Structure 1
Amino acid sequence: MPLYLTALATLLLTALSLGPSFAHVLEAPPRLIVWSPELWREATVFNGQFELFARIGGPLDVAAMLAAALLTYLLAGERPAVWFALAGTCLLVLGLGAWFTLVAPVNAVLDSWTPGPIPSDFASIRLQWETGHMVVAAAKFLAFASIGIAVLGPRLP
């Protein structure tokens, strides 16, 4: 029963962690191609558009990683499931690492922006912010798939 509940919790937490990241991917094309710089800055930087992404998404990311690590531990004697669980755990860690490497530095720049003229480095900042979220979403998607295989795939005796 602990393995079943851990597997369920890991899948749910990973799916919930993936959700906001996938939302970023879905909204990226118009934000990169259609939106004016003024609209992008207004929606992204001001008015708290993504506040809950941080308040809820961050703890979900950590909870998904911890649950995946526990699942990996519980599957230690089961091959190949343990390898898929370990890969999923590593991919979740990679996703968080990508966020800290690609998105967090841009968020620090965005925190310094104020209303007024569009900054001269706007295009590069926007591109890094949008693509950084896409990289994070890809890692989480692969993590979810790998954990799904670990949980649902056949176990070898």
Structure 2
Amino acid sequence: MNPPPSSERPIDNLDRAQMMSALFANMVLQQTNMALMFLGKVPHPETGQTLKELEAARMFIDQLEMLETKTKGNLTRQEEGLLKESLMSLRLAFVDAAEKESAIPPNKRSASAATAAESKTEAAAAKPTETPDTKATPAEDESRKKFVKKY
């Protein structure tokens, strides 16, 4: 026979530190799963379809990196290990997905990827060119630099 249902949940028996650790692990796993879904490694839970949106995946990876930086020295060994392992696997999956996407011929890519590429090309073409008399100062050039993170 099963014991009568209790109003206590297993999480109610944890002390505050254990609860925070469990919540931290849950958040890391949620972010990891979202990134994996956008990398096309895990199907969408509702539709069952795989998505491939590298920018969305990059956002989740960046959030985990921020979390790693902001919590440095404040995590248990298990929490730190979980975060490092998650980031390592996500970075490898990101590189793999990016390489596979670049290997796909442009006419075979999804319509959304083609549209995004076209809009980037149009934006670059619409950018005004600088003439010698309108050239930006070195300080303005420095502020315009675009940094790209590669994994």
Q: Same fold (TM over 0.5)?
A: no
Length-normalised TM-score, structure 1: 0.39
Higher helix content, 1 or 2: 1
Length-normalised TM-score, structure 2: 0.40
Q: Which has the higher contact order (CA 8 A, sep 6+)?
A: 1
Structure showing greater radius of gyration is 2
